Amino acid sequence: MKRLLLRLQPLGLLMLRIALGAIMVAHGYPKIFHGGYGHNMAAQVAGMGLPGFLGYFVAYLEFIGGLMLLVGVFTRVIGLLFAGEMLVAILKVHLKNGIGTQGGIDLPLACMAIAFALIFFGGGLISVDHLIFGGGHKSQL
């Protein structure tokens, strides 16, 4: 059973990448392509005491970074950026709503956990990263 699970690990990493990538693309797309929302995001970020340009950065990170995760390119870097973004989202936006409530920390916390895992495990064998850089994830279980 252990050998089977080890052989299926690349599918687990693929599912993590697809889940986080799809969520990020879905959140980034309207920020970029629905008139003026990127400007609203910049104003919202500035209202939190952060530089307004980060609103644009977040919008493009979510959309383009999400697409990059779907194919598994620069997975560790994108994972690091998403983990950081989700930490800020939790602390600055969602924490006041708690957990298990509308607008709570549930989704950003789950996204941060997935991103954190991808930092350490990478894109896996089923990724562009593996094609470019070789190696892939090798478990020590």
The answer to the question of residue 25 being in a domain is yes
Gap between the Cα atoms of 105 and 50, Å rounded: 20
Number of domains composing the chain: 1
Residue 82 lies in a domain: yes
Rounded average pLDDT per 10-residue block, the chain, 141 residues = 91 97 96 75 88 92 98 97 97 95 96 97 94 64 37
Q: Is residue 102 part of a domain?
A: yes
Containing structural domain, residue 105: 11-133
Residue 1 lies in a domain: no
pTM of the predicted model as reported, rounded to 2 decimal places: 0.89
The residue among 67, 89, 87, 84 whose CA lies nearest residue 119 is 84
Residue 139 is predicted with a pLDDT of: 43
